[in-house]
Amino acid sequence: MDKKLRINPQRVPKHVAIIMDGNGRWAKDKGMTRVFGHKNALTAVRQTLEAAGELKVRYITLYAFSTENWKRPKKEINFLFNLLENFLINKIDNLLKKNIKLKFIGEINKLPIRLRKIIKNSELKTSKNSSLQVNVALNYGSKSELINSIKNIRKKKIKINEKNIDNNLFTKNIIDPDILIRTGNTQRLSNFMLWQLAYTEIFFEKKLWPDFKSNDFKKILNKFKSIKRNFGSI
């Protein structure tokens, strides 16, 4: 059994972003199809959210589907969307019970109509929850997010500066991540929150996402507590 980790509440990060990588490879290692990996990824999501709630993390952002993921086989994309739909329909009561608020970031207007309706309903139902906010990055790409932010600023005819760019991103009113975790033993950002990660501490985890447990999450947060963050100063 893993030893229980104790983390100083004052050193708990407010926002943890996660690139959930490795589902396909995990399934392949077991002689199964990629969708088997996506299905089993939900266990890692559940354990991570439970650990985040226990440690009083304020925000979790999950990179669920990128703008580049449309290049994948249609069958796999449909499975991913159906998996999300079923989760939002069947687990909404659990989210309400745990006081979890859902927010979706990305180009949601380009998703299938049924999925958009379910997303809107889940955001509405959890809008008053205040324990943990889970941001689901869906049809999200950081480069297009930045381009759209600049376009919105120009339409408003206001000054292009850091504050106005922040206020026109999908993550408006959400603090920047303190930590980024990427599973799957891959070291790249994959067009994820490029603007928001400027001063984020990055942890690359060797484990594939379906193997990521609550204690893995806690171990990373335990490492974070010893990091002195200078934000450019001495």
DSSP state letters, 51-86: HHHHHT--EEEEEEEEGGGGGS-HHHHHHHHHHHHH
Q: Exactly one of 2, 8, 21, 121 is catalytic; which is it?
A: 21
State the Cα–Cα distance between residues 54 and 135, nearest whole angstrom. Answer: 18
- Residue 69 bears catalytic tag: yes
Helix (H) or strand (E) holding 61: strand 59-66
- What does the alpha-carbon distance between residue 193 and residue 7 come to, in Å, rounded to a whole number? 27
With contact defined as beta carbons under 8 Å apart, do 2 and 216 qualify? no
Which is the catalytic residue, given 69, 148, 164, 191? 69
Q: How far apart are CA 233 and CA 199, in angstroms?
A: 12
Q: What is the distance between the alpha carbons of residues 150 and 169, in angstroms, rounded to a whole number?
A: 9
DSSP 117: H
Label residue 41 left, alpha or beta by phi (over 0 means left) and psi (-120 to 50 means alpha): alpha
Give the C-alpha distances (Å, rounded to integers) separating 38 from 13, 25, 104, 200, 211: 27, 10, 19, 27, 12
Identify whether 161 is a catalytic site residue. no
Q: Where are the alpha helices (DSSP H) in 126-200?
A: 142-156, 162-166
Residues annotated as catalytic are 21, 69
